[in-house]
Each structure stands twice: as structure tokens, then as C-alpha cells.
Structure 1
Amino acid sequence: MRRAALLMAAGALTFASACQQPAFAAEKVVEAPAAARKASEGKGLKTAIFAGGCFWGVEAVFSHTKGVTSAVSGYHGGTKRQADYSLVSSGVTDHVEAVKVTYDPSVVRYDELLRIFFSVVIDPTLKNRQGPDRGAHYNAELIPLSAEQRTVARSYLAQLRKSGKWDAPIVTSVEPARTFYAAETYHQDFAAKNPRHGYILRWDAPKVAALKRLYPALYRAEFRRN
């Protein structure tokens, strides 16, 4: 795993210096097109799951998105016994790092969340990796939690594949929903709690900045804490 190793000591976290990580090219921001198929989800809060590499950055972006009421980092795809950071990060489980996003569709629709996700969170041409992180647990996946979300997700992926916005084939997939397990407490609101952490500065702060630049009407300066 490329992300700085997590070390527990006296109830606090100590991190290896980000400067010790290998150098990687900066992630490219590609503004995805607005969805042709708009989500129609009715009234009330809705929930969807997004897997997009390290969950710190996925959570950070959606926590700065208007209409999102909760963004919880966790694990999706494996068993309850496997839902442990040391196991997941070793690559021996069936889990991907994921974020469960609860949102108000009267403020931000599911298709708008998809557009943000593909524009500033992930590179949809990458399989089993994002940014500096490698392994199947960093695969980018859409996990809809309703029939409407599933229809919109599939329609949007088909639209993106025809858009010509990316130089390589889009490999992000729509996956069936399984049990989502919240990650350990120290992973929640990680970017807000550790704004000067090397990984956050290098990989995740630019994603939040891109959200603000590309979608100012949906950007919220205040971090939505869980």
C-alpha cells in the first residue's frame, strides 16, 4: 500500500512522512458532462455508496458538497470479519474502500454526485488503483442502493464512454449492493482532522479545490462532519 502506514500509539496516530512515498504524476482533472438522464428520487434523504480509491479523498469531496448530510468511510463487498483496516489494506479481503453518502436530492441529485465523482474524485480508466494506491481494495465502483440510482448510473457510464473525454477506456463498474461496514473511528472525517497530513495535501486537497472550481454552486466551504 502506498498510503502512509497507520501506526497506533497511546491512542493517537503517527504517520510515516509523505515525502518517503514514491513520486507520481499529478492526477488529471477531467470535467465530466452533465448527465443526460437526470435522477428522479422523490422527497426525503437518499443514500448511495461510492468506491474511489482511498476513502479519505472520497469522503472529503462529498463532505464539501451541498446537500450531502453524511459521508461515512467504510468497507464494501466482503464479510463482517474482513471489515478491518489491517486486513483490507493488506489486499486479502473482498472489500473495497468505500464511502456511504447520504444526501438530499432536492439540493443535489444522484446524477450530479456521479458527475462530481467522475470529474474530481477518480480516474475512471484505472482498474484496481487510484492515485498512488494499488490493489483491488482501491478499485473504483458505483454501488447504487435503489433501482433509480442503478438506472441512472448505467446510463451515465454509457454516456461517458461515448463522450471521448478520456484517452483510455472507462473501466469503472456498477456493482450490486452488499453490506457496508463503517471503518474505524480514526478514518472518519480524516481530512478535516488532519488537514496538514502529507497524503491529504498531495492527493485529496486538490480534489476539494477542483470541486470548488468546477462546481461552485454545489461546493460547501464548511466540512460536513459525521
Structure 2
Amino acid sequence: MPTIVISGAGSGIGNTFVEHYGRDSSNIIHALDRVWYEEVKDSENAAKVHQHTVDTSDQASVEKFKSSIGDAPVDLFIHSAAVRGLNPEITKNDPLPANAETLEVVVPDIFREALVSNVLGSFMLIRALLPNLKASKEKPKCIVMTSGMGSIANNSGGAYAYGSSKAALNYVVKSFTHDVPEVMFASIHPGKVDTRMTHVREEGAIDPEEAVDLMLPIIDKLTPEQSGMYVDRNGKGIPW
């Protein structure tokens, strides 16, 4: 009976993963988010899911969740929780998310939130779950939703808070790969996806269902030799 933990499960990509794995009644799913929306609470798979209100940027909140599951083995952890780091004053009047994260409009509080949530919060949550993953009788996997914006080889500029937080997250995951060889890790860039992370649908964005469908084969086929890879939703490698 596989046990799956999914963060950022209150909406978007995380919730779509919950819906997918929830179709198999043999799965035990722990769904984490700091905000739960009504459409998720009323979803057809909600009865099969253990919902936990967890703020990944708050160590006490992470520890409370860890205490609730104890030493139970976890076979798959999909970490989808993140914040975009957009300046809310800009998003009130500008329809383009990119204009809310330029050099001129980045403010310290927004930058700090992105680093704390996307980097430190991710580290604390993954580290807390390592004993559970290592206790799995299967080949445990930790899949992290990252971004192509975290590539130092990027040629676009901007996205200072989000991009730098994802670059740091990539380092964290890569380090886990070396320090915890018993667990398979992968950093996957889902591409532009229409989620609550932005205030409008970005040009070229796809629906969460399509993004998850593309990523599932990568997750299912992940091997120990591939652990630590940084790829897009089609499985293509991204320069670090």
C-alpha cells in the first residue's frame, strides 16, 4: 500500500497530483498546504486523502506534520509548494507577471519570502521526511517542482526573487542526492502552468492536468542512475 506525500496540494499542480494518485484506492496520500480552497475540499478524491495544514516556511508547522505521521514509511514525496515572489503593488494594475519581478520593483520583503519559502522551507520539509523515505521498502523518490528560471545559464534576466530561490533549491536537491543515496531525487521544471501563483494566465501556459500528464512518465521511470537530474516536463536536461 504505497504512501505518497504531496505538498502545495491545495491547488494547481499539487492538487492535480493528488487527484491522479487518489484514483488508486490502494494509495495512502498525505496532502499538505497552508491554504485549502473549497474546490479541493469537495473533490471526489478528498475522502481518500489525509489533509494537513502546513506552512513549510515555519519550522514548528513542519515539525507538527512530521509528528503526525511519525515513522511511517513514505514511498514518494512530490514537493510542489512554492511562492512566485511578485510585487503585489504591481500586480494590481499590470496584467504581465514578469513586470512584477523586474530589477526596479523587487522589494526586500518579497525577496525574503521567496527565499524562506522556496529554499529554507523546502530544505526543512525534505529533511524532516528523509527518515520516512529511507524507511520505504520500495525505491523511494523525492520529486521537486523547480523552474527553468533557476538555471544560472538563463538569458532572460529579471525574476530575481523567484529565479534565485529556485537556483538555490536546485543546489539543495543536488546536495541531498549526494548525502542521501538511498533516495532518488529529481528536479523538474513543469514550464508555464496556469495556477494561483500568478494573478493571470501567462501567455503559453498550459493547464495543470496537461503538465502533470507530461511529468508522470519521468517520475515513474526515474532510476538511481538519474537521481539528481534537472529536467523540463518533457524530460530534457536543463543547464545548471
- TM-score, normalised to structure 1, is 0.30
- Which has the bigger relative contact order, CA under 8 A and spacing at least 6? 1
Structure holding more helix per residue: 2
- TM-score, normalised to structure 2, is 0.29
Structure holding more strand per residue: 1
